[in-house]
């Protein structure tokens, strides 16, 4: 059989890089970046080889399994569906709709079928116990977007290729390839940006991005909101603000100014670890730049003031006229516009109900993942007795994973839509394995919404699925038809009819309708003709028209944000505890917990290590390469120590997604490179009290010699 070349997008991270995959005799013989992709221009990070490795992984499941005790056996799809439908229906009939919970993992957002069909299944279940990776990641940004602009997905995206002053808080785009900022080829983009201006990083670690930057400032974890307020204080007090044309479409700028008055640089310098003069210079340099933009990500999201941080970064851009302006923080106009299509995703809502045990607020019909374990373990009405997971491994990826690991065996029933038997899915009673990326068609609905340039690309399947396989959209359509709503015959019939119709259409035809009726009026056929992808142009100003608030105005000072400043004040007034604090970190070769079964990605240099400053290690008589015990109020793990001056004193850093040494996991490569799980020490009780997002960045820990 002759060699064939396939053009598509990589779906392993947010960058959506174009790839050229060469196959021969049904196997991948070459995989490289597509130089003719108008967005990625040939860039490809090491993770992309995971497309080949996961596709060919002998540990990847392709047919359903059921667990009997500790033994798994293969069953037909009909039997697996029947068992699942019977168990979920029984639990809801006996204990109510909310007795079933559902968790969606990160890979589901990289999957067209899952995006279009999983929500239909969740609506049919009608449970309030919905969870996802959102609340251990970007929830603060979504809350800020909802409160300020009227829609949870109206994200401000740095116009990276036209800015001349990029101010970064708690983000490492050189490794993440951009996050809530889809931008393939970040190293090249950052170098070009530095050549025409400045890249300034504020982070507790001298990251890979900081190494490419003009300057770097260490900041104590969890104090970014104070630094941002100090910047706003300087901008207002020195009359440097220039909100520009959006001032006439904005409410609350005076309230932002009044809030910042209480946080001059001299007051927050000791808490942040950034000198008052340096904070003033950060603000003045931002104001003096021609086209500056401020941006923040995981380091500001996953802390106890995550929502305040997301809001304040928006405020810095807003008061300087850098919101919705070229080179500033702009908004996309994708071919499938989730913001303009409420049938796909609504604008959101906040606090309509709260979690049963702790009372944390819902956002967009989801509860914080930090409460999942307690909602399973705590007896009473509304207790979760059955759980569905889709493409997720919350035992390794949510706070205090050990507590969740103890809770899962208490469930009456659990089903996982996943092709790996991992640390979470090993507790399931039924496994429904979907196809992998190369066996299905794809279009990036989610990440085109976050791109630094408007683009569109169709990704055809590289391989035909085998007869025994099912796509995840087929799995969800079938489950919706079988489960329906056991509490209402009318609603059940409606969901069954909708699922049947959606299954008959399939994602390709649904997408074609969305494209044809969208703002670009294109089609799947047109995308197929442009195999390398379509460049739809630079981001363009769109406010106030794109604002979703009925008033068509920006809410610069939402009441929940102003109220939460009291909590920040109390934290600033409290005595700062001595000892070490923990932060996470990204790795270019890994992607959460599920890419560790690729030998080429986990081999080589040590990856799951605890970074510590040599001076901190010397005080504890610890040495590089030594096995140490990292402990918190929640638990402890043993991990290898790595000494570096690239981390701030008093701070230690550990990557997440590791900890594969559990019994019953069928991931041979990952088990051989098990590492330790950071979420065995993170605390589910430590959250951003406003949004409910996990707040593990800045967690108090101790480190001592192991054993």
As given in the structure block, the two tokens for residue 699 are: 């967690």
Q: Span 65-137+337-537: which CATH code?
A: 3.40.50.740
Q: By C-alpha distance, which of 381, 388, 379, 439 is closest to 410?
A: 379
**Phi, psi of 447, deg, nearest 5:** -85, -15
pLDDT over threshold 80, residue 494? no
The average pLDDT across 463-488 equals 88
Q: Do the domains at 4-55 and 65-137+337-537 have one common CATH topology?
A: no
Average pLDDT, the chain: 95
What share of residues in the chain are helix, strand, coil (percent, to 5)?
Answer: 40, 20, 45
Lowest-confidence segment of 112-126, 312-326, 487-501 by average pLDDT = 487-501
654 pLDDT more than 80: yes
18: pLDDT strictly greater than 90: yes
What is residue 192's three-state secondary structure?
Answer: helix
pLDDT tens sequence across 541-575: 999 999 999 999 999 999 999 999 999 999 999 98
Task: Assign domain 4-55 one CATH number from 3.30.450.90, 3.10.20.600, 3.30.200.210, 3.30.1490.20.
Answer: 3.30.200.210
Q: Are 394 and 367 in contact (CB under 8 A)?
A: no
Is the pLDDT confidence value at 155 over 80? yes
The label of the residue with tokens 């033994």 reads 71
Domain edges within the chain: 4-55, 65-137+337-537, 572-705
Mean pLDDT of 585-599: 88
Query: Is the distance from CB of 284 to CB of 218 less than 8 angstroms?
Result: no
Within 13 A of 77's CA, how many CA atoms are on the CB side?
17
- The position carrying tokens 């530095």 is 194
End-to-end CA gap in the chain = 58
Find all residues with CB under 8 Å of 248, minimum gap 6, and list them. none
Total-model pTM: 0.97
Average pLDDT estimate for 95-110: 96
**Percentage of the chain modeled with pLDDT above 70:** 99
Interval 286-337: pLDDT, tens: 999 999 999 999 999 999 999 999 999 999 999 999 999 999 999 999 999 9
**Inter-residue contact 165 to 285 (CB < 8 Å):** yes
Tell me the average pLDDT across 349-371: 97
What three-state secondary structure class fits 361? strand
Segment 259-284 mean pLDDT: 98
**Per-residue pLDDT tens digits for 45-54:** 999 999 999 9
Q: pLDDT at position 496, please?
A: 76
d(CA 303, CA 309): 9
Whether the CB-CB separation of 64 and 433 falls below 8 Å is answered with: yes
In 3D space, the residue among 22, 32, 31, 30 whose CA is nearest the CA of residue 2 turns out to be 22
On the question of pLDDT at 492 being above 90, the answer is no
Architecture of domain 572-705: Beta Barrel (2.40)
Task: Summarize pLDDT for 377-413 with one digit per residue, the tens.
Answer: 999 999 999 999 999 999 999 999 999 999 999 999 9
């Amino acid at each position: 059989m002759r060699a064939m070349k396939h053009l598509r997008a990589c779906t392993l991270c947010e960058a959506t890089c174009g790839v050229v995959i060469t196959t021969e005799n049904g196997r991948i013989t070459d995989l490289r970046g597509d130089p003719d992709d108008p967005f990625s221009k040939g860039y490809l990070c090491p993770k992309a080889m995971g497309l080949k490795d996961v596709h060919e992984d002998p540990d990847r499941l392709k047919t359903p399994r059921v667990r009997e005790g500790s033994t798994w056996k293969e069953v037909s799809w009909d039997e697996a569906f029947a068992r699942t439908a019977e168990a979920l229906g029984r639990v809801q009939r006996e204990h109510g709709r909310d007795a079933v919970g559902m968790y969606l993992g990160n890979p589901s957002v990289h999957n067209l079928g899952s995006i279009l069909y999983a929500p239909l299944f969740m609506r049919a279940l009608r449970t309030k116990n919905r969870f996802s990776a959102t609340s251990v990641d970007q929830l603060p940004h979504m809350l800020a977007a909802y409160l300020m602009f009227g829609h949870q997905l109206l994200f401000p995206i740095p116009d990276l290729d036209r800015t001349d002053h990029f101010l970064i808080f708690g983000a490492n785009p050189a490794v993440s390839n951009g996050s809530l900022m889809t931008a393939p080829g970040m190293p090249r983009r950052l170098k070009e940006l530095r050549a025409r201006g400045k890249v300034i990083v504020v982070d507790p670690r001298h990251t890979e991005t900081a190494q490419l930057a003009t300057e770097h400032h260490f900041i104590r974890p969890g104090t970014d909101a104070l630094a941002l307020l100090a910047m706003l204080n300087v901008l207002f007090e020195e009359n440097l603000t220039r909100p520009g044309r959006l001032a006439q479409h904005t409410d609350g700028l005076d309230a932002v100014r009044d809030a910042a008055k209480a946080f001059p640089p001299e007051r927050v310098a000791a808490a942040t670890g950034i000198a008052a003069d340096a904070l003033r210079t950060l603000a003045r340099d931002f104001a003096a730049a021609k086209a500056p933009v401020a941006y923040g990500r995981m380091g500001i999201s996953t802390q106890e003031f995550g929502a305040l941080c997301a809001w304040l970064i928006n405020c810095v851009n807003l008061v300087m006229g850098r919101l919705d302006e070229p080179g500033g923080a702009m908004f996309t106009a994708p071919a499938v516009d989730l913001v303009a299509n409420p049938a796909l995703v609504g604008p959101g809502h906040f606090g309509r109900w709260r979690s049963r045990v702790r009372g944390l607020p819902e956002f967009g019909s989801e509860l914080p993942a930090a409460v999942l374990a307690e909602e399973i373990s705590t007896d009473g009405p509304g207790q979760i007795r059955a759980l569905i997971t889709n493409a997720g491994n919350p035992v390794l990826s949510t706070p205090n994973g050990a507590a969740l690991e103890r809770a899962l065996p208490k469930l009456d029933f659990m089903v996982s839509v996943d092709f790996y038997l991992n640390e979470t899915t090993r507790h399931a009673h039924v496994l429904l394995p979907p196809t992998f990326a190369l066996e299905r068609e794809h279009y990036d609905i989610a990440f085109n919404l976050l791109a630094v340039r408007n683009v569109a690309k169709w990704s055809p399947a590289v391989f035909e699925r085998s007869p025994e396989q099912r796509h995840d959209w087929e799995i969800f359509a079938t489950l919706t038809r079988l489960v329906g709503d056991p509490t209402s015959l009318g609603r059940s019939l409606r969901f069954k009819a909708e699922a049947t119709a959606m299954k008959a259409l399939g994602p390709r035809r649904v997408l074609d309708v969305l494209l044809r009726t969208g703002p670009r009026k294109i089609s799947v056929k047109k995308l197929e003709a442009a195999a390398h992808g379509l460049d739809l142009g630079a981001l363009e100003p769109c406010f106030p028209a794109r604002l979703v608030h009925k008033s068509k105005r920006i809410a610069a000072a939402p009441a929940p944000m102003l109220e939460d400043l009291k909590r920040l004040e109390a934290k600033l007034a409290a005595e700062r505890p001595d000892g070490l604090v923990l932060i996470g970190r990204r790795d270019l070769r890994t992607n959460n917990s599920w890419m560790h079964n690729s030998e080429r990605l986990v081999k080589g240099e040590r990856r799951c290590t605890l970074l510590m400053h040599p001076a901190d290690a010397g005080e504890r008589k610890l040495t590089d390469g030594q096995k140490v015990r990292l402990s918190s109020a929640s638990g402890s793990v043993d991990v290898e120590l790595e000494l570096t001056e690239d981390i701030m004193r008093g701070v230690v850093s550990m990557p997440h997604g590791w900890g594969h040494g559990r019994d019953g996991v069928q991931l041979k490569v990952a088990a051989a490179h098990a590492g330790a799980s950071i979420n065995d020490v993170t605390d589910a009780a430590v959250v951003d009290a406003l949004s409910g997002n996990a707040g593990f960045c800045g967690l108090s820990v101790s480190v001592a010699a192991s054993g």
